Structure 1
Amino acid sequence: MAITAKDVNKLRQMTGAGMMDCKKALVEADGDFEKAIELLRKKGQKVSASRADRETTEGVVVTRTNADNTKGLVIALTCETDFVAKNEDFVGLANKAADLAFENSPADVDALLALSAGDITLGEKITETTGKIGEKIEISAFETMEGEAVVPYIHSNGKLGVMVVLKNVNGASVEDAGKDVAMQIAAMNPVAVDKDGVDPTVIEKEIEIGKEQARQEGKPENIIDKIAQGKLQKFFKENTLLSQQFVKDNSLSIQQYLDTVSKGLTVTEFKRVSIG
């Protein structure tokens, strides 16, 4: 049957696919819109598969928190180019994924992808968008948090997000303090909240590095261990959140800064999600 420009435009409005793709799909489907939509989805699957080995180093990070800021989540939707990362459909898809995750509390990325996003799943929607845009798209990070106060922060480039859990709030207004701490995490990328949270393998590695540095400096063997322990303490101070110098006021550590907001206020957990 003859495919009119009106038919092509209608399918384009329904799917968001390109004009030529819509025309080809309608011709192959003999004018059947449902079949044409299915063909376009299949094309998306083919595009997705053909780009599976591509790196996704661009994208957006999106956060959500509930009304009383006791629960939150952060999601990173990634793609191949900055141009696509700024695409309205792509950003809308990231927000759709965040909304679905927030409403349904999936256990992991696979469960999130299986959620219904209208008449198809979120995973199918991502595949469909891959076909439409022509780049690999994936959810590269999905983290959830809960506690007394969950404070989110998105860096100005949209590619870095942080969520912080505070405790011992004691009725204080902690949103600004939470944002300050989140910005600290974004800038300084601590390895853990405090030394107790540092992976034992990291500690072992730092001790060995400290010992080797001391030997290279010609220090006596009987004080090598002591020197290595001193270097480890310096590592904790520089690389664990609560011990780090507060970037806005170097006279205070992060824990000392939090104490000025509310005595005993501290951080129990954080997540830092960065793209690229």
Structure 2
Amino acid sequence: MCINISAQYVKELRDKTGAGMMNCKKALKAAKGDMSLAIENLRKQGLASASKKSTRIATEGLIESYIHAGSRIGVLLELNCETDFVARHSEFHTLAKNLAMQIVACPDVEYISQKDIPSHVIDLEKKIELARNDIINKPQNIRLSIVEGRIIKRLKELSLLDQAFIRNPEISIANLIDQKISLLGENIKIRRFKKFILGEGMEKKSNDFSKEVADIVQN
């Protein structure tokens, strides 16, 4: 039987735990409305109290590097926390390594979160979607509805925090960071990352052997 969880009840759980609204809603549904059980489950998942720390200043941390096998793609990542003590913690180092590997594993990821995506990128994506052949002859309201859904999907593809964690697809990268915030007791933020792909942006020389042979013969 589907249990109806009110927004007020979700807010109450959020106020008690500091966990995100969606996590609170899921916890209440899983607990069939039992507030105590929902709180217990959130604490087990490491989500309780995470959002309460999310506004605290984080200026310590580390710069992590990851070079994928074959040395054709790599990532530099800056991950911040509040103290040097946590910056040296093995859990923090593991998180940084996992995040760098995640970026390599997700070729579409270009931004940390959806709010970092520039408006001109969103406008370009909308323009591309509106011109697609499969919807161009549909009524305007249906086209706009389809495009809206596709844009939402596309923005998630571009955002690192929206990705399913490669080591545990049941949680997102945002969930993973919330878990580590609760575990380590400090705010943790991805400040920036840079992906390096061998030869990216360079004009690659193509060898036209038939033309080369023809030139040699003519000379």
In the alignment, which of 217, 222, 226 is matched to residue 141 of structure 2?
A: 222
TM-fit CA distance, 1:272 = 0.8
| 2:156 alignment partner in structure 1 | 237
Does residue 1:273 correspond to 2:191, yes or no? no
Q: How many residues align?
A: 131
Task: Select the structure that is richer in strand.
Answer: 1
* Cα distance between partner residues in 2 of 1:256 and 1:169: 19
Q: Name the structure 1 match of 2:74.
A: 161
TM-aligned CA distance change 1:205 to 1:183, over 3 Å: same
Instruction: Report the CA distance between 1:215 and its aligned residue.
Output: 6.0
Cα displacement (A) at 1:265: 2.5
Q: Which residue of the other structure, out of 127, 145, 149, is the alignment partner of 2:62?
A: 149
What is residue 80 of structure 1 aligned with on the other side?
none
Measured on the aligned residues, the alpha-carbon RMSD in Å equals: 2.5
3-state SS in 2 of match to 1:149: strand
1:200 aligns with 2:119: yes
| Pair 169,248 (structure 1): closer, same or farther in 2 beyond 3 Å | farther
State how 1:161-180 maps to structure 2 within 5 Å. 161-168=74-81, 171=86, 173-180=91-98
Gaps of 5+ in 1: 1-145
| Structure 1: distance between partners of 2:82 and 2:70 | 30
Partner SS, residue 174 of structure 1:
helix
Greater C-alpha Rg: 1
Structure 2 unaligned regions, length at least 5: 1-58, 200-219
8 Å Cα contact 2:130-2:136 kept in structure 1: no
Find the partner of 1:262 among 159, 168, 181: 181
- Bigger relative contact order, structure 1 or 2, given CA contacts below 8 A and separation 6+? 2
- Taking the aligned partners of 1:164 and 1:204, their CA distance within structure 2 comes to 28
**Kindly tell me: are residues 169 and 180 of structure 1, through their superposed partners in 2, closer, same or farther at Cα, counting changes over 3 Å?**
farther
Whether the 8 Å contact between 1:194 and 1:242 is mirrored in structure 2 is: yes
- Aligned partner of 2:3 in structure 1 is none
Shift of 1:179: 0.7
Instruction: Provide closer, same or farther for how the CA distance between residues 234 and 275 of structure 1 changes in structure 2, counting only shifts above 3 A.
Output: same
Q: Equivalences for 1:99-178 in 2 at 5 Å?
A: 148-168=61-81, 171=86, 173-178=91-96
What amino acid is aligned across from residue 92 of structure 2 in structure 1?
Answer: V
Q: Is the 8 A contact 1:208 1:228 kept in 2?
A: no
Alpha-carbon shift at residue 221 of structure 1 (Å)? 0.7
Matches of 1:234 and 1:214, distance apart in 2: 19
What's the offset of the Cα at 1:213? Answer: 3.7
In structure 2, what residue type is equivalent to 1:248? R
Give me the whole-angstrom Cα distance separating, in 2, the residues matched to 1:249 and 1:231: 25
**Superposition map of 1:83-102 within 5 A:** none
* Corresponding position of 2:172: 253
8 Å contact from structure 2 (residues 60, 81) kept in 1: no
2:66 partner SS: strand
TM-score normalised by length of structure 2: 0.52
8 A contact 1:164–1:270 mirrored in 2: yes
Judging changes above 3 Å, is the alpha-carbon distance between structure 1 residues 191 and 223 closer, same or farther for their aligned structure 2 residues? same
How much does 1:149 deviate? 2.4
